[in-house]
Structure 1
Amino acid sequence: MMISDIPKISLSLPTRWPRAMRPGGIVGPTGGALALLLVALVLRWPTFGDPMLGWDEEFYLFVGGRMLHGDIPYVDIWDRKPIGLFAIYAFFHLFGPWRVWAYQIGALLCVWLTAMLVTRMARHVAPPAGAFIAGLLYIAWLNQAGGHGGQSSVFYTPLVAAAMACILDRLPRLGSDAALLRRTGVQAMGLLGMAIQIKYTVIGEGVFAGLLLLGQSGLGQSGLGQSGRDVRTILKNGSLWVFVALFPTLAVFGLYALAGHGRAWWFANIDSIFLRAAPDPRRYVPELAGTIVVLAPIFLAFMLGWLSGVGAMKNPRDMAFLRRWTLAALASFLLFKARFVHYSLPLFAPLAVAAAPLWFRRSGRIALLLLLGWAILQGERTVWLNFGRVDDAALMNRIIETVSHPAGECVFVYQGPQAVYDRVPWCGLTTHPFMGHLSDIEEAHATGIDVSSELRRILAARPGYILLMQHAPAGRIPESERIVHDALGAGYVAVRYVPAARGLVIFERRDLLSEGASIPRGAMPPAERGATLHENRSAQHDRTE
């Protein structure tokens, strides 16, 4: 997509504003694209350079760095995310000390590209100004749903949006042009296939696109065989498109199989997904409620547009496609039992496009502008409350300073920022360094290891420092909590409290202090250390009861 595809914006509002204040008078095709970039930059700027935006992306960056050192995902470091996501972060890791900025700028560019695609698609069913507002809505809604950084969906949504735009642009001609249909299917399914290797939840939207394309195969009017009515032609097209969509995944599996790690890949990417236990309701219900609150306003706008019939008046076939895409994305969200608010991020692109036709009506214009204002205010409030008030870069430096004296000691992050692993020498204490795999009840039997035995093995190596949260969320494995807290009570002293990540407590092995290692500057006084340890033990007792 070229910048020229971004239309000249003309709000055409029935107002008495001076002409210079009307966006249609000052924003042209290039200005539309630049305006989207500027808005994305301004709204995401407070997070730039922050090394602790989210434990997921911190872990992705760490694994990407380990890949550059020769470690193999699913073998040397275990997780169930597709390797494409780690490969993206391996590229960002090449920027060395600027790697955090690199992935955040990369995420910004992906958000910008998606917003331009949203604007382009919305032009099919909405006026130019309404389409532009749809692009802004996508950008603004991310911040209140955990999309302010480098979540996986930020990187794969441009691929999904490009696939859908490819289909939508050619939709009127697909049923009558067999060659165009076949080519469009290859292009769209190829894009979706690449997206699947970033996050498997794309599969739902891929199935939707494939079924729609197969449906178009039976609408031609050029005769059997060429039009797609012929069953053999439909099967041929379908087989081709399925192969193209699955090729990236099959290629990765093939490489792992040739290297003798096919079973490890299969367990991590396939089997483990179905072995996860049901989430703890004490954690699940509040998280799901928060997700519903974030989704409700933009989903309501989508439903109002649907029920009122706006958009269908301009192009009913395109509007039907966009609504079905939205429902397919929603089905994927529900199918994978999504509850964390960032799992809703893939919904925002289709919802924004499908809401754009509201601009046809005066009341709809008011609603969309209010919706955009709400998204900006809530998103920036979320960002500033979580990241604007605390200098996370300085906090991370304090953490690294603490665990680096004396130098050469291993660090075990039982609970806490995964970025620590990316900033200290990696000891390889475990093949399962992501904290949730050793502590969350959902993962107790889904990682291919005995969690209790793995924890005992890690602690038997006597890491110099252990990090954990003072206020851990519900849903922890009781046995894991007991093992860790028993080890802390027997041989560790709390030496620093960091007011981040639910309150991070750093424990140092007691013999390091007795050998003359000084407690780092800013450490907690002895009474507070004891109180912290007691509080963690009490919390563990409450959970196990």
Structure 2
Amino acid sequence: MLDFDEQLYLVVGDRILHGQLPYVDLWDRKPIGLFLFYSGVRFLGGDGIIQYQVVATLCVAITSSFIWTIVCRGTGMVQGFVAAIAYVLLLNVLGGTGGQAAVIYNAITICAVWAAFRSNDTQSPSRIIGLAMFAMALMGIAIQFKYTPMVEGAFMGCWFLLRMWQVQMPVLRIGLVAVGMVFLALLPTIAVFAYYEWIGHLDSFVQANFVSVFHRRPFPAVTRMWQVKFILIKALCVIAPTPLALALRWRMRLASNPADFWLLTGWTVFAVLGFGMLGDFYDFYFITVLPALCIMVAPLVGKERMGFAVGCMLCLWPLVFTPQHYFRTSVNRRAPVQLVDAITPYVAHRCLYVYDGPTILYLLTHACAPSRYIYPDHLTNPVETPALGVDPAQEEERVLTSRPGAIVTANQPLVLRVDPVTQNLVRTALARDYVLIARVPVIGRVLYVWALKDLHPGPASIMDPRGAIPE
């Protein structure tokens, strides 16, 4: 229970190995590459939880190593080391402790960025073309983890074309190479389109991946402002020094490779654009910008008067938030065990329905799901319900009619608003058909487990269901 999203990714990855299809049997709008990654993790044994965290740690190691390598192009090893460590520490406070999508694809993206920096070191057209094809192939893979890296990929593609023009490649050849670069970048996505068309479910794929994005309601402006404030506070150590670092790099550009300055600046700008393109500003969305910012501010660590202060700020500021985070996760470690013990006897022959709670319970209890919308936010959050492609009330009623063996609710929602129609349907079903069998505290909330009365010969009710599903 490190975070919410990666629980869903692991469950979907596991269910793929059992024959279920993303977007058809299990709905989400993330690209299929992310789920296939988690399917691969399941081959490492265990329940996949520690395994995905180990693989994510390797991805962090790759990303931080390339941060160090790129910083060392124009500054020293100490600056590179501080920038790399700052990236690792900031993940702990921006929702990147586990296997968030950006934690994984940052390792792919920065490899492509490294190829772009290497293109600044050569005047060989064939070498630049090779690096460009390598980078675009990587960005094509990154896009199948989340679509927002396409913004950074588009910038890098343009950078490689500029480099080809600078080494006086013929325009016709540049055009042919550009077509090849675009094809490589889109090849994984084209392959997914072709597969879903082949199996007859292209409409489900398109609805989940593209149509749903435009039907999703935006958060209120006040909510978005709070999101931005939290990010500014948490990532202050890399955001605040950026203007000064940009000015320093501008003065330094002629002393090193001027092209590196423009490449890094452009990458930073387009990474920020990719972060903001969805309109909602979750803290873990900002992880995609961290590598560029950590590299950008690194030269300040080498300045005589301010270097020590900047270095301390980069390494110590994240630690202000880290103890609270690890306290929360250590307490949450006990909750799944209690929940699984309470749920398991009631889902041997019936499904589990997590109306509000950790999605990982589907995996830990080996229970079937009564709906393809297994992420609780999808049927409970008014922001998400218009994007599902179905009537949420009808889907909720269908789920409850199937009479799941156990239902999980919470005493307060994670989101600011809850869909009142689906909420009332669940309340009615709990009062009529279910009995409360467990209360499990987590940080800031209490999770309730309800068992179907037919399976639990106990009292008719222990608690008014209105108190278990808040307004």
- Give the TM-score range, shorter chain: over 0.9
Q: Which residue of 1 aligns with 2:165?
A: 218
Question: Displacement of 1:451 after TM fit?
Answer: 0.6
Distance 2:468 2:334 in 1: 26
Secondary structure at the counterpart of residue 504 of structure 1: strand
Superposition deviation, residue 281 in structure 1:
4.8
Question: Any conservation in 2 of the 1:194–1:248 contact (CA below 8 Å)?
Answer: yes
Q: Secondary structure at the match of 1:244?
A: helix
Q: Distance in 1 between matches of 2:199 and 2:63?
A: 36
Separation in 2, partners of 1:79, 1:495: 31
Q: Deviations over 1:25-57 (max 9, x none)?
A: xxxxxxxxxxxxxxxxxxxxxxxxxxx111211
Task: State the shift of 1:260 in Å.
Answer: 1.5
Alignment-derived partner of residue 535 in structure 1? 467
Task: Say if 2:118 is the partner of 1:169.
Answer: yes
Matched, 1:512 2:455: yes
- Counterpart-to-counterpart distance in 1, 2:20 and 2:276: 34
One-letter code of the match for 1:255?
Answer: Y
Q: Residue 245 of structure 1 aligns with which residue?
A: 185
Does the 8 A contact of 2:119 with 2:160 survive in 1?
no
Following TM superposition, by how much is the alpha carbon of 1:283 offset from its aligned partner in structure 2, in angstroms? 4.4
Q: Secondary structure at the match of 1:432?
A: coil
**Structure-1 residue corresponding to 2:17:** 68
**Most deviating of 91-100 and 410-419:** 91-100
Q: CA deviation at 1:466?
A: 1.1
Matching residue within 238, 248, 268 for 1:326: 268
- Secondary structure, aligned partner of 1:181: helix
Find out whether 1:492 has 2:424 as its counterpart: no
Tell me the equivalent position of 1:194: 141
Asked if 1 retains the 8 angstrom alpha-carbon contact of 2:237 and 2:317, the reply is no
> Match for residue 31 of structure 2?
82
Asked if 1:106 is matched to 2:61, the reply is: no
- 1:136 has 2:76 as partner: no
Q: 1:297 aligns with which of 237, 250, 271?
A: 237
- 1:127 maps to what in 2? 76
**Correspondence list, 1:355-366, <5 A:** 355-366=297-308
Deviation at 1:98, TM superposition (A): 4.5
1:153 & 1:216 partners in 2: Cα distance? 28
Letter in 1 for 2:316: W
Residues 356, 409 of structure 2: 8 Å contact kept: yes
Using the TM superposition, give the Cα deviation of residue 320 of structure 1 relative to its aligned residue in structure 2, in angstroms.
2.2
The TM-score normalised by the length of structure 1 is: 0.81
Q: Secondary structure at the match of 2:165?
A: coil
Amino acid of the structure 2 residue aligned with 1:198? F
Deviation at 1:308, TM superposition (A): 3.5
Alignment partners' CA distance in 2, 1:282 and 1:408 = 45
Q: Does 1:459 align with 2:400?
A: yes
1:135-154 matched pairs, under 5 angstroms: 135-154=84-103
CA distance, structure 2, for counterparts of residue 89 and residue 184 of structure 1: 28
Aligned residue for 2:48, secondary structure, equals helix
Q: Quick one: distance in 2 between partners of 1:443 and 1:503?
A: 23
Q: Which amino acid aligns with 1:275?
A: H
Q: Which moved more, 1:444-453 or 1:91-100?
A: 91-100
Report the CA distance between 1:440 and its aligned residue. Answer: 1.2
1:308 to 216, 238, 248: 248
Q: Which runs of 4+ in 1 moved over 6 A?
A: none
CA-to-aligned-CA distance 1:451-485 (integer Å, 9 cap, x gap): 11000000011112111221113132222222222
One of 328, 343, 352 as aligned partner of 1:411: 352
Residue type of the partner of 2:359? Answer: Q
When normalised by structure 2's length, the TM-score is 0.94
Question: Given that residues 157 and 346 in structure 1 are in contact (C-alpha distance below 8 angstroms), is that contact kept between their aligned partners in structure 2?
Answer: yes
Report matched runs for 1:393-408 at 5 Å. Answer: 393-406=333-346, 407-408=348-349
| Counterpart secondary structure, 2:148 | helix
Give me the CA root mean square deviation.
2.0
Query: Is the CA contact (8 Å cut-off) linking 1:311 and 1:358 kept in structure 2?
Result: no
Which residue is equivalent to 1:203?
150
Cα distance change of structure 1 residues 286 and 495 upon mapping to structure 2, 3 Å threshold: farther
